[in-house]
Amino acid sequence: MNEFIEQKIIGAVQGLLTGQVNKILGELEFPIPQIELGNYGKGYAVAPRISLMSCERTEKERIILLDSYTMTITFDLPEVRDSELFCYAYGGALGRALHENTTLGGVVDRVEITGKKYVPPKMLNCGEGWSLIVSLHLTVEGLNK
């Protein structure tokens, strides 16, 4: 079965999150809910949303056949005592995992974090939780032949 590069990228990121990032989280001295794919809740696991977008290409990028993508990974956490700590743990573990695997197992030529945004609830104790939004930039060379 032929897969589009977008499917491969999303699959590689999902594998990184449920594999290496969960492994890093498991090595911490305090318990952090694991990352799962699907519809989970109640603090036992977190299911991040992954959004992939294609970037506008410059003339040079079109000539050398370079595709650029931006991706956002959003972690929405329920309001619990350690939600802020969990955001920092997910951000740090994802950063470390991407530093160790900058090509997502050979799927892309380069991936880098371009931003992390920690979003507290608008009002404490109102039932709205914390969020972590991680922005990535991914490049793939030589696909459009």
**Predicted local distance difference test score (pLDDT) of residue 42:** 56
Q: How far apart are CA 109 and CA 70, in angstroms?
A: 14
Q: pTM above 0.85?
A: yes
Helix (H, G, I), strand (E, B) or coil at 69: strand
Q: Report percent pLDDT > 90 for the chain.
A: 61
- Residue range 79-126, pLDDT digits in tens: 888 999 999 999 999 999 999 999 999 999 999 999 999 999 887 767
Domains of the chain: 5-141 (3.30.70)
pLDDT for 145 beyond 60? no
In sequence order, which residues have a C-beta less than 8 Å from that of residue 59 and are 6 or more positions away? none
